[in-house]
Amino acid sequence: MALLTTTIGAYPKPDYIPTPDWFREGGAGLSNPTEASSIRAISLEDAHRHNNLSLLEHFKTTTVIFGVIAIAKSGIETVGEISDRLKAALKYIDADRLIAAPDCGLGFLNKELALAKLANMVTAAKAVG
């Protein structure tokens, strides 16, 4: 069976552009239809603009590909920053359904910067378990 996925997130945009309430305030409005569908995983963009992580507890069977690396920032997230965000997410979702990932790919970054960000993400994910 193919893995069916969809992406939701606060894509890199100015803070003055509103984010839908279901996204900031937790999301039975999003998770209920997703849970009832054939979608097996969602990608949640979180590095650019942190979400209310209680949204994750609504996904009972869906895997969450969790963005912990910003693609529109040249700063390199520290292992500690990434670990802390993963630990916060794990309060709401089982570890076997949480996958650390960059927000939406790294195509806008140069190779060295992308590799440095990925190295910190891998180290953090291993440390969190």
Q: Which domains are delineated in the chain?
A: 5-128 (3.20.20.210)
User: Is the distance from CB of 128 to CB of 92 less than 8 angstroms?
Assistant: no
pLDDT tens track, the chain, 129 positions:
444 444 555 444 445 555 554 444 455 556 667 777 778 888 888 898 888 898 898 888 999 999 999 988 889 999 999 999 999 999 999 999 999 999 987 888 999 999 999 999 999 999 998
Residue among 13, 22, 67 nearest 43 (CA): 67
Question: For the whole model, what pTM was predicted?
Answer: 0.78
Token pair, residue 60, equals: 């009972």
Residue among 74, 81, 90 nearest 124 (CA): 81
